[in-house]
Structure 1
Amino acid sequence: MENFNHGLQIIHSIIVKASSLTFIRMVGSVPSGWMRRILLFLVILTGILLIAMFAHTPPLASLQPFTIHRTFQSPWSWACVSGRCERRAVHSSRISSSTCSALCGGNTRLIWPRPTGLVDLRSENVVFHWQQVEIATVNTSNQEVKNLLEHAKDVFLGKRNVKNLMRVSNAKSRSAIDSFIIYISAGSASNTQLSLDTDESYHLQVLTKGKHLEVRIIGKSYYGVRHGLETFSQMIWWDENCGRQGCLRVLSQASIEDKPVFSYRGLLVDTGRQFFSLEQLKRVIDGMSASKLNTFHWHLTDSQSFPYESVQFPEMARWGAYSGEEVYTPEDVKELVTYARIRGIRVLIEIDSPAHAGAGWQWGLERGLGELALCIDQQPWSAYCGEPNCGQLNPINENSYKILESLYRELLDLTGVRDIIHLGGDEVNLDCWAQYSNISATMQAQNITDYHVLWADFEKKLYSRLIKANHGEAPKAVILWSSPLTKRPYVTQYFDSSIHVIQSWGGSTWPDTPDLLEDGFRVILSHVDAWYLDCGFGKWREAGEAACGEYRTWQTVYNHRPWRDYPLQQQHLLLGGEATIWSEQLGQASLGPRLWPRASALGERLWSDLPSNGYSTDESVYTRLAVHIELLRSRGIRTEAMWPHWCTQNPGKCL
């Protein structure tokens, strides 16, 4: 830089002199021959000086950009006072907010959902490097279970879990231990498919032997071990005030006994009205696994679109997908199923029928198969369906049943979920069928006068086709949405309580659920006034009912415990619950924030079912959920905020 400045000074001097000489020439004081010689000399001298200057100048590639290095030193530290973290200004050593949150609050801190059994979390903790962690599978005999556990190890240590906690990837802090080993055991478990009877319990123990950290996670199934690994991952955090760069810490003394209250803990995502990429659906799976939800209900198709690219019937997607880019291939389905199973989740795919079936079913006449679906895009739509585009399957066309059978055969083979199957079955518009003379003639020939009977006949035929699609095996549970057909007197006439499970989506004060339980039917709860996460965003059309009420807050989701009002002798019929997020007003960017942390609140309600008084929520729920939200974000999951961030740092002052 010094040479550069010196060179500039020389050039400036030459230019000044040259200008002066030029001026002299102009006034005629110097002969023209001498002037030419002087100018030539100056040009040569300038070239020599420039060469010398750049010879001593560093190459451009080595030049560093001009930056301002700023050091941010926060004066704040956190102290645990009466079970709460309080922020204080200090001049000495500081305790980070994350460390205080991990160590303050007794056995209610850190873990989401809260364990249901004995919990003993001590405040002892150690610093470690993630590279030190070893995971060993012991006392597990089944090879398929072992293979799943190997994948679970990768997830535990992966870029969306423990490794991703590190804010500085090459942190050099010194480890306080010599070894860190996690022993995992699924015992004699042999079934790698999640079922309604799967034992998801686990026992977790963390202890320190000298400078050796030892963790033991024992489950009676793969899923129990996976839940134990999830719980233990939440006992690890990043301490930004550790050393110069920060460090990973882990609790070094802990014991947990845990198992879920409900066996079915679901979340529905609708890809029929809006398309979501495979990567977006994987982020949903990540959030579910962190909250110990275990059923991803994939509402794959609807009357607006059919995005599944069937091998047997590619016409479905060709006629029904929004575009060639907005389809799910069989490989996509299989990839998501594998991704979910490793994370403890079954993928339950629904192709709704006989209603909610329009787009994708229009090609029957072209192929000589007759009208597969009726009322497609019929106007006025409000007379024939709940929202545009209308469409429901033709109950007297056998080809409609054949196609459904083939579709379910493909999907059952891809998912491997055969014991529990969802057939849809809601919001059938009887006026749609009533306008077709050939349907009326068929009913007269069979002496049928009630269109509910025709609807029930559709479900009966579909069930027999489903058994064929399932390689001749009857599923243990066939799920149907609650509807007029699942009300009295039809429900006991046309459905079998040992086979059919009703997903009750009506209002929590409606008689549907109590009546179903009284009639002996197993029930999955999805009450619209508590667990419909798409509500609260206003109308999306002017005609007809286009909104489902106010926004369901996470407190509303969390405090919904309708089973308290049901007779004890009927409690065993409640399989669990499911939140739904229908996608009429759900954009690509809003999927995550609309789900989390509200779906996390559902996770604790269905796993732990902690007591709650009306709509008042215990303070520890707020503080633990705030910690859980930070965990989700560290794993790349987009969430809504539950309160100002100041409240996360000062929780006791916000409640």
Structure 2
Amino acid sequence: MRVRAALFSVLFSFSCLAFAGGSELPLIPLPSKVDQHQGQLLVGPGTTLRVAPSDTAGLRVAHAFSDMLARMGGPSLPVVEGLATPERAAAGASIIVIRLDANARVTSSEGYVLDVSPGEARIVARDESGLYYGAVTLWQLLTANQKGSTFAAPAVHIEDWPQFAWRGLMIDSARHKQSVEEIERILDQMALHKLNTLHWHLTDDQGWRIEIKRYPELTRIGAWRTPPDAGKNGELARYGGYYTQDQIRAVVAYAQARHITIVPELDMPGHAQAAVASYPQFGVTGERPTVSADWGINPYLYNADDNTLHFLQNVLDEVMALFPSRYIHLGGDEAIKDQWNASPAVQAKMRAFGLKNAEQLQSWFMGRLGQYLHDHGRHLIGWDEILEGGVPGDAAVMSWRGTSGVEKAIHAGHDVVVAPDPYLYLDYVQSSRDDETAGRLPVRSLQSVYTFRVAPKGLPPQQAQRILGAQANVWTEHMPSDAHLQHAIFPRLDAVAEIVWTPAGEQNWQSFLTRLSGQLDRYRRQDIHYADSAFAVNIDVSRQQALATGTTTVTLSNQVGGETIRYTVDGTSPDANSPIYKAPFTVKLPTRVRAVTMTNAGQALSQPRERVIDDESLRSVAGNELSACPTPNVDEMRAQPTPDATSMAPVYTINNFDSCRLSNAIPLDGVRSIDVGLARLPRNVALAHDATLIVQRKAATPHGEMELRADRCDGPAFATVPLPDPASSPSTFALKASVPPMHGTHAICVLTTASPHDPYYGVARLQLHTAGTASAKGSP
């Protein structure tokens, strides 16, 4: 009776709660079909999970569901073998039935039917994966409305199934290695988003991360690299590590329990420098390179002789023993053929096999290994370069160079996974804000991910069936830590989950935003450090107006629009009682504007942002606000001070091809000097043949110069200051440049003269000084 009384007490308190978004159920991805009804289900300490006797699949899912709720602070629900009778359900304690039924009315594999009513929830599916995803949906409904250890879910009927079989995420562990616990944390979130494929990138030029017992040098040597400037400024002398085979088995089992298949990737024939550093006899030249500390495209290839193929087949034997996946990913991307073209032995082999060029040799190479996988009951999958010259008919293609490879692969008779750069590459930054962390540019916002469509428009249905699905890719050159990884993945993973699960016709951006607020709350409760870039408030003012009049108009905005922005101008932190921003407003200098995006119910969707508006700040420009100068080649990234720095800030925006950066127009009346904060960064990006595109500016002094130009980057310099000696100066410093009398507003171009072998110079900040103002002290 005490359980029943407690439940009625909680029922009364829950009856006052509105589910997130009103009519929008707090579910991501959105189910295929939903009907809502009156009433709700309460789940608490008196609830039992029930499965049919001998239903082992249902039993596993029931225990998994109980664990899901317990992790969110709920009770560990007992699991009972034996379906409840109507009399038991009416006695007061709710039940959840999880039942495998070969005749369940579901549309496809992994589909399920969920019925929630007062007192009972039922999940029915034809396969265990369907049961699991039904449990995830119920978990999302319940955890959106929780008080202590009691949860509430609205009465609903849901019929749901995925649109694509391959719903994936690629994690690059070669550039920066994650711990086993961090990988398992990602797997947990993938499962709760109904994603079922982890593509695990384990080898590259910068590291070999998988233990191969027959070839121990792969991890003794190949798993470790020496970073640029190793040992300076407190850096580690070596970076690296690897996963033992026992660790990999444990991760594979962890994934399988969450209905996730792990597809391993060993890159070949290019991106092989770590392997060649370990066993130079399997490279082309026979020379032993170091494990690369440079991102980008390195020149080292595997040899194409029988000994090398035998070596790779032996490696694949151990890989197949660890990973039961149908597909094994063999890379095939970005293999520049210089070493093959320069090798007499390789050229002789090509002539012997009647191969006309190195692209056909790569096809032959990949075909041999693809056949080896086929002979062992597996299938090759590779990046879309494997199409150049042809690959085995049962190979699948992962299209990454835009979307053109999708139709090309289909027309060649191959199944395809859609994973295009830049659309689904989560290593791109999420905003252009100064406080955004490291990553590639341009911006790939939450909305840009959500609005991507997996199947190309106009593709005939019969051809569209060749699309296995899609995945997001997380390359980790700029993600040394778990904090970086979480910031890059979440909440963009929610957008990915919806575009691969929910029918395209049901996908709706505004609906998604409404439902996302509940998901962000779940992230906070699970200690997932998601990026709030989509909701972060931009605080914009007119520099010219403010400096001229002492007042300025403030405009507030965010990426998503339509959400409530609350703000203060009195130095306090904004909350649910602060004014709602409706239109630009005017403030007097000096002032401090703080703003935050909130739901209508007062839940914060971002951290508060602030802007101090005074004379000094108005004459200051953050380096990350500068843009690339007009130039034929732009390849921008936000780089950290060192390649393996684990802090989220500072970061510096650079163009790999040109050191030139350009500000917006700034009032220069009365400005007498400019302090320029600079950071010297390792130039550790291998550009291969594109290195010839780097703009070179001849230096007039031993270590080069910083030049400032007005309006045009190709105009004369109005200030030139020598750069200090890298060997005897700190990596961050400030240079003072005198400014001749100038009037009006002008853009400022900042560039450095240097060779392609010199460090990058990132701009931290420009601080303008008028007559009588003091220069900034110290480093930026």
Q: Same fold (TM over 0.5)?
A: yes
8 Å CA contact 2:384, 2:400 repeated in 1: yes
Q: What SS is found at the alignment partner of 1:122?
A: strand
**Residue 648 in 1 paired to residue 599 in 2?**
yes
Corresponding residue number in structure 2 for 1:635: 526
Aligned residue number for residue 543 of structure 1: none
Q: How many angstroms does 1:413 deviate by?
A: 2.2
- The equivalences for 1:308-347 within 5 A come to 308-322=210-224, 326-347=241-262
Q: What corresponds to 1:515 in structure 2?
A: 408
* 1:298 CA drift (Å): 0.3
Alignment of 1:104-123 (within 5 A): 104-106=21-23, 108-117=24-33, 119-122=34-37
Structure with greater Cα Rg: 1
Structure 2 residue 172 is matched with structure 1 residue 270: yes
**In structure 1, what is the equivalent of residue 18 of structure 2?**
100
Matching residue's letter, 2:140: Q
The amino acid that maps onto 2:496 is L
Partner of residue 158, structure 1:
70
1:185-334 alignment runs, 5 A limit: 185-187=99-101, 199-208=109-118, 213-237=119-143, 248-251=150-153, 253-322=155-224, 326-334=241-249
Listed one character per residue, the Cα deviations across residues 510-533 of structure 1 (whole Å, up to 9, x for unaligned) are: x33223223332211111121011
Work out the CA distance in 2 between the residues paired with 1:260 and 1:643.
29
Tell me: higher relative CO, structure 1 or 2? Use CA pairs within 8 A at least 6 residues apart: 1
Q: Structure 1 stretch 644-653 or stretch 153-162: which is displaced more?
A: 644-653
Paired residue secondary structure (1:225): helix
C-alpha deviation, 1:636, in angstroms: 3.1
- Do the aligned partners of 1:259 and 1:607 also contact (CA within 8 Å) in 2? yes
8 Å CA contact retained: 1:98, 1:239: no
CA distance in structure 2 between the partners assigned to 1:295 and 1:450 by the alignment? 35
- Give the alignment of 1:451-462 within 5 angstroms: 451-462=358-369
Is 328-337 or 458-467 further displaced after alignment?
A: 458-467
Deviation of 1:282 (Å): 1.2
Q: Tell me if structure 2 keeps the 8 A contact 1:140–1:185.
A: no
1:551 maps to which residue?
443
**Contact 2:222–2:275 under 8 Å retained in 1:** yes
CA distance in 2, matches of 1:538, 1:447: 51
Match of 1:564 in 2: 457
**Greater Cα offset, 319-328 or 253-262:** 319-328
- From 332, 335, 343, the equivalent of 1:425 is 332
Residues 24-81 of structure 1 deviation map (CA, whole Å, 9 limit, x = unaligned): xxxxxxxxxxxxxxxxxxxxxxxxxxxxxxxxxxxxxxxxxxxxxxxxxxxxxxxxxx
Q: CA deviation at 1:454?
A: 1.2
TM-fit CA distance, 1:206: 1.6
Provide the rounded CA distance (Å) in 1 between the counterparts of 2:72 and 2:207.
32
Question: Counterparts of 1:349-498 in structure 2 under 5 Å?
Answer: 349-364=264-279, 371=283, 377=289, 387=296, 389-396=298-305, 398-417=306-325, 419-467=326-374, 470=376, 473=377, 475=378, 477-483=379-385, 485-487=386-388, 490-491=389-390, 494-496=391-393
Q: Secondary structure at the match of 2:163?
A: coil
Q: Deviations over 1:100-129 (max 9, x none)?
A: 234x532x3211100012x12335235543
1-structure distance, mates of 2:18, 2:597: 15
Structure 1 residue 430, shift from structure 2 partner: 1.3
The equivalent residue for 2:489 is 595
Residue 583 of structure 1 deviates from its aligned partner by 0.7
Contact 1:115 1:257 in 2 (8 A): yes
In the aligned structure 2, how far is the partner of 1:629 from the partner of 1:262? 25
CA contact (8 A) 1:265 1:295 kept: yes
Letter in 1 for 2:422: D
Distance 1:373 1:462 in 2: 22
Contact 1:111 1:231 in 2 (8 A): yes
Distance in 1 (CA, whole Å) between partners of 2:210 and 2:344 is 32
- Shift of the alpha carbon at 1:277? 0.6
Q: Structure 1 pair 363/586, CA: closer, same or farther in 2 (3 Å)?
A: closer
TM-score where L is the length of structure 2:
0.58
Give RMSD over aligned pairs.
3.7
CA contact (8 A) 1:237 1:248 kept: no
Aligned to 1:135: 49
Q: Is the 8 A contact 2:58 2:99 kept in 1?
A: no
Matches of 1:163 and 1:416 in 2, distance apart?
35
Please tell me whether the aligned partners of residues 358 and 391 of structure 1 are also in contact (alpha carbons under 8 angstroms).
yes
1:611 is aligned to 2:505:
yes
Question: Compared with structure 1, are the counterparts of its residues 606 and 198 closer, same or farther at alpha carbon in structure 2 (3 Å cutoff)?
Answer: same
Contact 2:41–2:154 (8 Å) recurs in 1: yes
* Percent identical: 26
Q: Secondary structure at the match of 1:619?
A: helix
Write the letter of the residue equivalent to 2:302.
L
Distance change in 2, residues 1:568/1:584 (3 Å):
same
Residue-by-residue CA offset, 1:591-626 (whole Å, 9 max, x unaligned): 11110110110100100034389xxx5422101012
Question: CA contact under 8 A between 1:239 and 1:247: conserved in structure 2?
Answer: no
- Report the Cα offset of residue 551 of structure 1: 2.0
* Secondary structure of 2:195 counterpart: coil
Report the CA distance between 1:270 and its aligned residue: 0.2
* Other structure's SS at 2:468 match: strand
Q: Deviations over 1:556-577 (max 9, x none)?
A: 1110115233233311111111
Equivalent residue number for residue 95 of structure 2: 181
Question: Secondary structure at 1:563's aligned position in 2?
Answer: coil
Q: Greater helix share, 1 or 2?
A: 1
Counterparts in 2 of 1:565 and 1:549: CA distance versus 1, 3 Å = farther
Matches within 5 A, 1:500-511: 500-508=395-403, 511=404
> CA, structure 1 residues 198+330, in 2 after alignment: closer, same or farther (shift >3 Å)?
farther
Contact kept, 8 Å, 1:202 with 1:228, in 2: the verdict is yes
Amino acid at match of 1:360: A
Q: Matches of 2:513 and 2:286 in 1, distance apart?
A: 50
Instruction: Answer yes or no: is the 8 Å Cα contact 1:559–1:612 preserved in 2.
Output: no
In structure 1, distance between residues paired with 2:528 and 2:519: 11
Q: How far apart are 1:425 and its partner, in Å?
A: 1.2
In structure 1, distance between residues paired with 2:172 and 2:98: 36
Whichever residue aligns with residue 461 of structure 1, its letter is: R
Q: Deviations over 1:148-173 (max 9, x none)?
A: 43652443333257459xxxxxxxxx
The residue identity in structure 2 corresponding to 1:560 is F
CA gap of 1:126–1:523, structure 2 versus 1, over 3 A, is closer
Q: What residue identity is the alignment partner of 1:267?
A: L
Mapped to 1, the partners of 2:307 and 2:73 lie a distance apart of: 48
- The answer as to whether partners of 2:295 and 2:477 remain within 8 angstroms in 1 is no
Offset at residue 424 of structure 1 (A): 1.3
- 1:299 is paired with a residue of what secondary structure? strand
Q: Corresponding residue for 1:527? A: 420
Q: Give the letter aligned to residue 633 of structure 1.
A: R
- Which letter does structure 1 place at the counterpart of 2:476? S
Q: In structure 2, what residue type is equivalent to 1:555?
A: Q
SS at the partner of 2:457? helix
Change (3 A) 1:149 1:537: closer
Normalized per residue, which structure has more strand? 2
Q: Would the aligned equivalents of 2:112 and 2:160 in 1 still touch at CA under 8 Å?
A: yes
1:489-512 per-position Cα deviation (integer Å, ceiling 9, x unaligned): x33xx441xx0211111123xx33
- Range that drifts further, 263-272 or 587-596: 587-596
Q: CA deviation at 1:315?
A: 1.8
Give the alignment's TM-score, normalised by structure 1: 0.69
Distance 1:388 1:518, change over 3 A: closer
Distance in 2 of aligned mates of 1:98 and 1:441: 80
Per-residue deviation at 1:239?
5.6
* 1:555 Cα offset (Å): 0.7
**8 A Cα contact 1:377 1:390, kept in partner:** no
CA contact (8 A) 2:282 2:303 kept: no
Shift of the 254–423 alpha-carbon distance from structure 1 to 2, 3 Å rule, reads same
Instruction: Please state how far the C-alpha of 1:147 moved relative to its aligned partner.
Output: 6.5
